[in-house]
Chains A and B, each alone.
Chain A
Amino acid sequence: MTKEELDLLYREQFGALYRFVLFKVRHVQTAEDIAQTVFVRALEALPKYKRTEAPASAWLFTIARNLCIDHYKKHSSITPGDETGFFSEIADARASATQSAADRERKQALAVAVSELSESEQEFVTLYHIEEKSYQEVSAIMGKSEEALRAVNHRAKKSLKTKLKKYYDDTKE
């Protein structure tokens, strides 16, 4: 992979990387910093990068995951979940003029619920449902088989619907 290819890939994946990290660290500035550091780390590791069957984006998400782990090792006093309330603030800031208050409230609640899922469920929901990546790509990023991912998907949706019963209280699926 050349530097230009990496640059293109990074630009394409920046938003996804940011959201992937955001649900883990629950802090906007930290998420932006980590998402940007991914590029620096990828650039440093570029000479050692070898093409595999897995998409190159999987490599970037692996770097992002490792940076999040490093972040929590360095800031061991911060435990995931401390900043849950921030989702409400950023959802408010990004809300469009046409979005109703009820809509905003529901999506804020949904963002908080996603951030409270288990690590694998959260990663799956972020990559598959929010970023619309294929099962194959999610499988490469998370290192799980497609069968395992289907089970994760089922559990994640069940958990979200239980938590957000008043919004998604469906009687048939």
Chain B
Amino acid sequence: MTQKNNYNPVVIRSTTTGYNLEQDLHSLKIQLAPRSFSEVGVTTAPVVRYSYIESFRMHILSYAPLAIMALLIVFVGFKGLPADGSDELAMLDAWSTDESSALTEMSFDEELSASDLELDFMDQDINN
């Protein structure tokens, strides 16, 4: 995949020092190798370290559509319940209102006779 250059460097050899600029430049490749590579001594794949922001973007945001869907389902589900349930609750409320009003409309004598009837019924039950 990598294309090496075929440039044959002109040997720039100093008459006084004998150092070659191109060779020295090329040697910087080893001199300035990434830490992990030079320490291990072999060419290995670098460990990709992600920052917290990158991790958030890669992992959390990838689940964002699913989270939105779940929220929508929950929202629609909850919103649907009171529409049906409210009628039942209203009916229950109306019924209890009727009952309570019916009770309050009973006179004292009616209540007394009702309790006597109940006591009689209980006595009969005990005797039996």
Which residues of A are in contact with B by a Cβ distance under 8 Å? 7-9, 11-15, 18-19, 22, 28, 32-33, 35-37, 39-40, 55-57, 87, 90-91, 94-95, 106-107, 110-111, 114, 125, 128-137, 157, 160-161, 166-173
Specify which chain B residues have a CB less than 8 angstroms from the CB of A33 in the assembled complex: 49, 51
Given contacts A11-B46, A168-B21, A170-B15, whether A133 and B3 have CB atoms under 8 Å apart is yes
Question: With A and B bound together, what is the CA distance between A67 and B12 in angstroms?
Answer: 35
Question: With A and B bound together, what is the CA distance between A88 and B52 in angstroms?
Answer: 32
| Minimal beta-carbon separation of B114 from chain A (angstroms) | 80
Specify which chain A residues have a CB less than 8 angstroms from the CB of B14 in the assembled complex: 167-171
| Minimal beta-carbon separation of B31 from chain A (angstroms) | 5
Instruction: Pull 28 A–B residue pairs with CB atoms less than 8 Å apart, ordered by A.
Output: A9-B1, A15-B29, A15-B33, A22-B32, A33-B49, A33-B51, A35-B46, A37-B54, A55-B3, A94-B31, A95-B31, A110-B25, A110-B28, A111-B31, A114-B28, A128-B5, A132-B26, A134-B7, A137-B3, A137-B5, A160-B21, A161-B12, A167-B17, A168-B12, A168-B17, A170-B12, A170-B14, A173-B12
Specify which chain B residues have a CB less than 8 angstroms from the CB of A125 in the assembled complex: 25
A135 touches B5 (CB 8 A): yes
Which residue of chain A lies nearest to B17 when distances are taken between CB atoms in the complex?
A167
Specify which chain B residues have a CB less than 8 angstroms from the CB of A160 in the assembled complex: 21
User: Interface size class for chain B?
Assistant: 35 or more
Specify which chain A residues have a CB less than 8 angstroms from the CB of B10 in the assembled complex: 173
Which residue of chain B lies nearest to A164 when distances are taken between CB atoms in the complex?
B21
Specify which chain B residues have a CB less than 8 angstroms from the CB of A173 in the assembled complex: 10, 12
Specify which chain A residues have a CB less than 8 angstroms from the CB of B32 in the assembled complex: 18-19, 22, 87, 90-91, 94, 111, 130
B22 touches A129 (CB 8 A): yes
Specify which chain B residues have a CB less than 8 angstroms from the CB of A7 in the assembled complex: 45
CB-CB nearest 8 A-B residue pairs: A129-B25, A134-B5, A170-B14, A18-B34, A134-B3, A11-B45, A171-B15, A168-B21
B21 touches A157 (CB 8 A): yes
Question: With A and B bound together, what is the CA distance between A110 and B33 in angstroms?
Answer: 15
Question: With A and B bound together, what is the CA distance between A39 and B49 in angstroms?
Answer: 10
A36 touches B49 (CB 8 A): yes
Question: With A and B bound together, what is the CA distance between A133 and B45 in angstroms?
Answer: 21
Specify which chain A residues have a CB less than 8 angstroms from the CB of B31 in the assembled complex: 90-91, 94-95, 107, 111
* B6, CB-defined interface residue at 8 Å: yes
